[in-house]
C-alpha cells in the first residue's frame, strides 16, 4: 500500500528515463526497512520503482524555494 504524491526529480543519477527538475505523479511506498521507494511512470511511459532519494515531495521543494526567497 502506498500514498499518492507529486514529486520532483532532484537527482536523476545515471537514469536516462528521468528528467531533472521534472514533476511526476508518484506512489510512495515504505518497505518497512526504513527505505522509501517511489513508483511512477518514467519519461518513456514505463511504470518503475526508484529510491526516494532521487526525488523530493513537491510541497517540500516549494517550501524550500520560498524560504530561499525570504517569503
DSSP state of 44: T
44 Cβ neighbours under 8 A, 6+ residues apart: 17
Instruction: Kindly list the domain boundaries of the chain, sorted by start residue.
Output: 3-68
**Full-model pTM:** 0.84
- Checking if the pLDDT of 40 tops 70, the result is yes
Q: Are 39 and 27 in contact (CB under 8 A)?
A: yes
Q: Which three cell numbers stand for residue 37?
A: 521507494
Instruction: Report the alpha-carbon distance of residue 12 to residue 54 in Å, rounded.
Output: 6
Predicted confidence (pLDDT) per residue in 3-21, tens digit? 899 999 999 999 999 999 9
Q: In the block, which residue shows the cell 515504505?
A: 30
Amino acid at each position: 500500500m502506498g500514498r499518492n504524491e507529486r514529486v520532483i526529480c532532484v537527482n536523476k543519477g545515471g537514469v536516462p528515463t528521468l528528467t531533472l527538475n521534472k514533476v511526476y505523479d508518484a506512489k510512495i511506498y515504505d518497505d518497512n526497512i526504513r527505505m522509501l521507494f517511489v513508483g511512477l511512470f518514467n519519461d518513456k511511459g514505463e511504470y518503475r520503482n526508484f529510491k526516494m532519494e532521487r526525488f523530493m515531495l513537491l510541497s517540500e521543494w516549494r517550501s524550500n524555494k520560498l524560504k530561499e526567497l525570504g517569503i
